[in-house]
Amino acid sequence: MENNSSYWQENLRIITTCLIIWFVVSYGFGLVLVEPLNAIRLGGYKLGFWFAQQGSIVTFVALVFWYSFKMNRLDKEHGIEES
């Protein structure tokens, strides 16, 4: 079980990293900082608007896959992957 608790700590660390990014792209860039970011243009998009309607969603997808990848590796390192 000792091995397990370092596994759980590492899992919590990965989740925290993911949720910080999750928070920054949606609540940060998409909502709170939208006005200053709108001064920057991405083609026809204002950047804040782009994060709110496109960028945050794309980041969410990447986050879930990254989490899955990191966790599968962590399972192997701790020898607790499923057979």
Partner 1 sequence: MDELKLYTYIAVFGSFGLYFAIAWWARAGSTKEFYVAGGGIGPLQNGMAIAADWMSAASFISMAGLIAFLGYGGSVFLMGWTGGYVLLAMLLAPYMRKHGKFTVPEFISDRYYSKTARIVAVVCLIIASLTYIIGQMKGVGVAFSRFLEVDYGLGLGIGMGVVWVYAVLGGMKGITYTQIAQYVVLIFAYTIPAIFISMQLTGNPIPQLGLGSTLADGSGVYLLDKLDMVVTDLGFKEYTTGQLGNNANMIAYTLSLMIGTAGLPHVIMRFFTVPSVKAARSSAGYALVFIALLYTVAPAVGAMARLNLMNTIEPTAGENLVYEERPQWFKDWEKTGLLKFEDKNNDGKIQYTADKATNEMVKVDRDIMVLANPAIANLPNWVIALVAAGGLAAALSTAAGLLLAISSSISHDLMKGVLTPDLSEKSELLAGRIVMTVAILVSGYLGLNPPGFAAGTVALAFGLAASSIFPALMMGIFSRKMSGTAAIWGMCSGIGITMLYVFMHKGIMFIPGTSFLGGFEPNWFFGISPNAFGAVGAAINFAVAFAVCRVTGPAPVEIQHMVDNFRTPAGGVNAAHDH
**Which residue ranges make up the site for partner 1 (CB under 8 A)?**
1, 4, 7-8, 11, 15, 18-19, 22, 26-27, 30-32, 34-35, 38, 42-46, 49-50, 52-54, 56-58, 60-61, 63-65, 67-68, 71-72, 75, 80-83
Residue 43 DSSP symbol: T
**Which pair of structure tokens corresponds to residue 33?**
């900082």
**Which pair of structure tokens corresponds to residue 56?**
């945050």
Distance (Å, rounded) from C-alpha 59 to C-alpha 43? 19
**Which pair of structure tokens corresponds to residue 22?**
């999750």
In the complex, least distance from residue 83 CB atom to partner 1, rounded to whole angstroms: 7
In the complex, least distance from residue 41 CB atom to partner 1, rounded to whole angstroms: 9
